[in-house]
């Protein structure tokens, strides 16, 4: 068969790319995914997962996710809604059938594995149900939407060993297993472990009955400062505090501590300096609840679990016999090294603006449709997913450098302003508000100095 674009991976990135391509071109598009349904890793998500950012900033550009309502209860009351995993999967299913396939130009091959080039210039795809191989000829590009594919708890292979008399389950199985145990040990220090701890607390498990193996402390972004829509002025103010701190200070630790003082960043344990940063968002009530769990093991990553002993990379501790171990240690976002987004007949979807996955994929599709070849990589300089706090400033500055190139392109700037996936969508409508106006002015006055001051950090990450 023939197609204009073969998109490998029908998760959030592949769908956001296809959605914008449908709007901006008349191309025929084929989506291929190993899973039988669209949504990527969301199909394997644990049952109590939610977006950590607002639904208003996630999904595909053409179709809102949710109703832009504020939450009325719980630890995130007052903040814009965050879709559940089930809601995200249902949304992507509607996007496929009612938006993409309804265009008459998009074909989805679910349950098919992409094998690569077949030696005759076509791409080979195998039907996992029948082993039949299909040869697809892309007239324009192959789009790799799996390069940064996430590792999720349900599908990753644990790096540690577990004795036969110990029960260790992926976080997906926590709800059906917890009632059989009077003690739970959470393994991992990222967003999944936060969700697991909060779920346990919400379901009546006492903090003293939870042990948390947390390899590294992490800087967290206060969700209150990342609210879109009517709160975009406050969001812009927060972004400008980041450029201001980077313009004034040299060391990443000093910048991050300044932003903590300003209420931008948080940490669970205020007595320990975090060494990790991945952009995870939490609310202060969530952090307050997490702090009630005081049995925290900080001896590195888990190596082995026995009935009476936990072995970790930096030491050993006695374990509680009969505890339920919950694996939340999947790596999450893939940290493959950056490569040019546009290379010959291939597009590799990657981070461009940090921590904006759906927006990045949509923007790359717009650039593919609207810009000449020599301009494409200049407008989509790849960024990184990092985990070390010392690298956070270089990642921020890389985004700001790329955004400066966008501001020089009027048509692209207009598209970005109108994109519902853009962090500051609607800001122009709020510039009469003092906080929005002051934040925008501060950002424009400090972003150049911030980038100039941290050129070495950018060079260290990107060359």
Structural contact between residues 146 and 9, judged by C-beta atoms closer than 8 angstroms = yes
Q: Is the pLDDT of residue 150 over 80?
A: no
Task: Please report the pLDDT score of residue 155 as a whole number.
Answer: 76
How far apart are the C-alpha atoms of 84 and 55, rounded to whole Å?
Answer: 9
Confidence tier at 128 by pLDDT (50, 70, 90): very high
For the chain, percent of residues with pLDDT exceeding 90: 94
Task: Please report the pLDDT score of residue 218 as a whole number.
Answer: 96
Closest to 27 (Cα-Cα) out of 1, 64, 2: 2
Overall average pLDDT of the 227-235 stretch = 97
Overall average pLDDT of the 219-237 stretch = 97
Structure tokens at 442: 């501060």
Task: Please report the pLDDT score of residue 455 as a whole number.
Answer: 96
Structural contact between residues 265 and 392, judged by C-beta atoms closer than 8 angstroms = no
How far apart are the C-alpha atoms of 133 and 117, rounded to whole Å?
Answer: 12
How far apart are the C-alpha atoms of 52 and 84, rounded to whole Å?
Answer: 10
Q: What residues contact 242, with CB distance under 8 A and at least 6 apart?
A: 259, 264, 396, 450
Q: Is the pLDDT of residue 375 over 80?
A: yes
Task: Please report the pLDDT score of residue 148 as a whole number.
Answer: 87
Q: How far apart are the first and last CA of the chain?
A: 41
Structure tokens at 378: 């200049």
Element spanning 19, H or E: helix 12-24
Structural contact between residues 187 and 328, judged by C-beta atoms closer than 8 angstroms = yes
Task: Please report the pLDDT score of residue 152 as a whole number.
Answer: 72
Domains defined for the chain, CATH in brackets: 2-150+334-379 (3.50.50.60), 161-217+267-327 (3.50.50.60), 389-462 (no CATH)
How far apart are the C-alpha atoms of 263 and 441, rounded to whole Å?
Answer: 20
Task: Please report the pLDDT score of residue 156 as a whole number.
Answer: 79
Confidence tier at 221 by pLDDT (50, 70, 90): very high
Ranges of H-type helices in 277-380: 284-290, 357-370, 373-379
pLDDT digits 0-9 by tens, 70-88? 999 999 999 999 999 999 9
Structural contact between residues 62 and 19, judged by C-beta atoms closer than 8 angstroms = yes
DSSP 396-407: HHHHHHHHHHHH
How far apart are the C-alpha atoms of 440 and 243, rounded to whole Å?
Answer: 11
pLDDT digits 0-9 by tens, 397-439? 999 999 999 999 999 999 999 999 999 999 999 999 999 999 9
Q: Is the pLDDT of residue 222 over 90?
A: yes
Average pLDDT, the chain: 96
Q: What is the pTM of this model?
A: 0.96
């Amino acid at each position: 068969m023939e197609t204009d674009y073969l998109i490998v991976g029908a998760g959030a990135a592949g769908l956001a790319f296809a959605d914008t391509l449908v709007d901006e071109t008349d191309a025929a598009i084929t989506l291929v995914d190993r899973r039988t349904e669209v949504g990527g890793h969301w199909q394997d998500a644990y049952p109590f997962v939610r977006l950590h950012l607002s639904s208003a900033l996630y999904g595909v550009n053409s179709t809102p996710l949710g109703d832009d309502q504020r939450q009325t209860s719980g630890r995130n009351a007052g903040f814009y809604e965050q879709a559940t995993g089930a809601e995200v999967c249902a949304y992507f299913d509607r996007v496929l059938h009612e938006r993409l396939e309804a265009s008459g130009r998009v074909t989805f091959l679910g349950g098919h594995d992409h094998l690569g080039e077949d030696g005759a210039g076509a791409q080979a795809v195998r039907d996992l149900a029948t082993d039949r191989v299909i040869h697809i000829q892309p007239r324009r590009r192959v789009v790799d939407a799996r390069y940064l594919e996430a590792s999720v708890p349900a599908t990753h292979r644990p790096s540690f060993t577990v004795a036969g008399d110990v029960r260790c389950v992926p976080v997906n199985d926590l709800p059906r297993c917890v009632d059989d145990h009077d003690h739970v040990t959470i393994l991992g220090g990222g967003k999944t472990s936060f969700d697991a701890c909060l779920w346990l607390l919400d379901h009546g498990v006492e903090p003293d009955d939870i042990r948390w193996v947390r390899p590294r402390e992490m800087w967290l972004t206060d969700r209150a400062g990342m609210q879109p829509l009517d709160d975009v002025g406050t969001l812009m103010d927060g972004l400008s505090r980041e450029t201001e701190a980077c313009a004034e200070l040299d060391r990443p630790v000093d910048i991050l501590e300044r932003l903590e003082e300003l209420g931008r960043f948080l940490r669970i344990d205020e007595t320990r300096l975090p060494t990790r940063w991945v952009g995870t968002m939490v609310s202060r009530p969530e952090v307050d609840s997490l702090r009630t769990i005081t049995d925290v093991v900080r001896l590195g990553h888990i190596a082995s679990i026995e009935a009476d002993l936990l072995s970790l990379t930096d030491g050993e501790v006695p374990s509680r016999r009969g505890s339920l171990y919950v694996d939340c240690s999947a790596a999450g976002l893939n940290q493959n090294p950056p490569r040019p987004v546009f290379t010959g007949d291939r597009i590799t979807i990657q981070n461009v603006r940090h921590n904006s996955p759906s927006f990045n994929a949509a923007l790359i599709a717009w650039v593919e449709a609207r810009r000449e070849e020599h301009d494409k990589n200049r407008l989509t300089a790849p960024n990184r997913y990092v985990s070390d706090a010392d690298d956070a400033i270089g990642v921020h500055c890389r985004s700001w450098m790329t955004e400066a190139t966008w501001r020089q392109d009027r048509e692209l700037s207009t598209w970005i302003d109108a994109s519902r996936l853009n962090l500051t969508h609607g800001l122009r409508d709020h510039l009469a508000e003092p906080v929005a106006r002051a934040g925008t002015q501060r950002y424009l006055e400090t972003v150049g100095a911030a980038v100039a001051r941290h050129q070495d950090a950018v060079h260290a990450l990107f060359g």
